[in-house]
Structure 1
Amino acid sequence: MSAPPFQPGDRVRLVDASPAPGSKRRPAHPMDRDLIVARISGDSVEVRGVPGFWRAAVREGLMARGVSFPLLSAHRVSPDDDEDFYPTPPWAARAGGERILALDPRARSAWEPACGAGHMVHGLTDYFAVVHASDAWPYDGNRILDFTGPADGAPRADWIVTNPPFNQAEAFIRLGWERARRGLALLMKISALESVGRHGLLTCDCPLTMVMPFAERVPMHKGRWEPEGSTAAFYAWFVWLKPALRPERFMARTPDGGRVAGTWPIPPKTRDRLTRPDDAGRFGVGSRP
């Protein structure tokens, strides 16, 4: 049996091989979606992005619970395929790293689990001795790992620091809170504070320690970083300290004696102060004057 003609990082689509009764069309199925080739061993292909109970090796089609799914197509993934790739300006990453060390001077390692092309990682390396970089998509040498999937083999770090995909923010909060040793920091739009459903998550399930809104705009654009770009969006660092670090020290007290997230604004001119001369050139864009 010959090895499948795919490489790690290729995207494959699998569909149910059995037609519906009386129909030549294949029925809809949970597996009818794009998956990522993670590893090739002999004549097997292991894919990511599959719910846990469907995980299996691909051998001339995927065998899972007795149902066969043939591989229909595959193509090399590029950043253009990632709908959630909005690079973080390195200066904004440094602002987060600076604040994390102010709250937790003993922090030594960080994990960026949605690293993209490495913009956030580039900024965080100024503040952490070790920065692990992974993403559900292959970019430039990053580890391929779906943060919302099984934790097997995932890095262990003091802090998890990232700009999460917007539609997976709640999953990143819950999993980050669970997996980080010392704390979690997410760069998100301030609107992440909204919604009745999220209120319990941020106040009870995973109590938010501090919100650090940027006084300046943090421009993010799909698929690219524009150093001189602009945006109407309002971003902030959302920070959670694990209980061992006594997060209540940094939280605000309410009139009834309770605790809620404190606020620590990131002041104007942070962009100028934390932009490095090599930032733009490193990512192939024009330098700031």
Structure 2
Amino acid sequence: MRNSGYERHADDWYVEPAWCVHALLMVERPFVGTVLDPCCGGGNIVQALCSNEIEATGADIRDRADGTYPVMGYAQSLLDVRPASVVSNPPYGVAEDFIMSCLALTKDRVCVLLRLAFLEGVKRREWFPHVPLARVWVSSKRISMPPGGTDIPAKGGAIAYAWFVFEHGHTGQPKLGWLPDVRGVEA
């Protein structure tokens, strides 16, 4: 069992609540052009973006949304779509490679929902100066992400999460901020 209280999903598929995407949109400047979630799972992020009139699409390595999104790996979806930006909750185990792949094929930004602990580690400390990490938006409210494809209800979150925003052209230290409280926003 993970320290989040949920059994580990084989593909690292965990379902983020829509409110955390809406909170990101409240603190980030508007997205222009196509936004891709290359690890969209059931499509929560894509649906939240579209509900805010953002041109968004998704893909995943498995069909998790009854044929709504193409089935392909994240690298292939980036090549096929050539998005301006990426907003995603990627598998944690490939987060650095995912970010680098997204930065190579986008023009604007890459926003990834990851454990706040992603900031830790000697190797990652050496990696961060080589990527354009512009902003870290910490969620004061713990985000509960149950494994996808189950009927396990969301519990109170046990892990601190943040949106990490990598923006092309950014130099210098990243800005640290907090997501607004948007409880009750689920559409």
TM range, smaller chain? 0.7 to 0.9
Task: Provide the alpha-carbon RMSD of the alignment.
Answer: 2.3
Task: Tell me the distance in 2 between the aligned counterparts of 1:125 and 1:150.
Answer: 18
* Cα pair distance change 1:219/1:151, threshold 3 Å: closer
Give per-residue Cα distances to partners, 1:13-46, cap 9 Å, x unaligned.
Answer: xxxxxxxxxxxxxxxxxxxxxxxxxxxxxxxxxx
Task: Tell me the distance in 2 between the aligned counterparts of 1:192 and 1:215.
Answer: 16
The residue correspondences of 1:31-70 to structure 2 (distance < 5 A) are: none
**Residue 113 in 1 paired to residue 38 in 2?**
yes
Give per-residue Cα distances to partners, 1:130-160, cap 9 Å, x unaligned.
Answer: 21110111222211121145954x2122211
Task: Tell me the distance in 1 between the aligned counterparts of 2:41 and 2:88.
Answer: 10
Give per-residue Cα distances to partners, 1:95-129, cap 9 Å, x unaligned.
Answer: 223333x2xx3523200000001112111113353
Q: Partner of 2:22 in structure 1?
A: 94
The residue correspondences of 1:103-142 to structure 2 (distance < 5 A) are: 105=30, 107-140=32-65, 141=67, 142=69
CA contact (8 A) 1:219 1:226 kept: no
Task: Tell me the distance in 1 between the aligned counterparts of 2:132 and 2:121.
Answer: 16
Q: What SS does the corresponding residue of 2:129 show, helix, strand or coil? A: helix
Q: Partner of 1:208 in structure 2?
A: 133
Tell me the matched-pair count: 177
Q: Partner of 1:145 in structure 2?
A: 72
- Given the two structures, how large is their TM-score scaled by the length of structure 1? 0.56
Q: Which runs of 5+ in 2 are unaligned?
A: 1-7
Larger Rg, first or second structure (1 or 2): 1
* Cα pair distance change 1:128/1:185, threshold 3 Å: farther
Q: What SS does the corresponding residue of 1:135 show, helix, strand or coil? A: coil
Structure 1 counterpart of 2:182, one-letter code: T
* Structure ranking higher on relative contact order (CA contacts 8 Å, 6+ apart): 2
Task: Tell me the distance in 2 between the aligned counterparts of 1:191 and 1:81.
Answer: 19
Q: Partner of 2:106 in structure 1?
A: 180
* Cα pair distance change 1:226/1:92, threshold 3 Å: farther
Q: What SS does the corresponding residue of 2:48 show, helix, strand or coil? A: helix
Task: Tell me the distance in 2 between the aligned counterparts of 1:230 and 1:112.
Answer: 25
Q: What SS does the corresponding residue of 1:117 show, helix, strand or coil? A: coil
- Given the two structures, how large is their TM-score scaled by the length of structure 2? 0.84
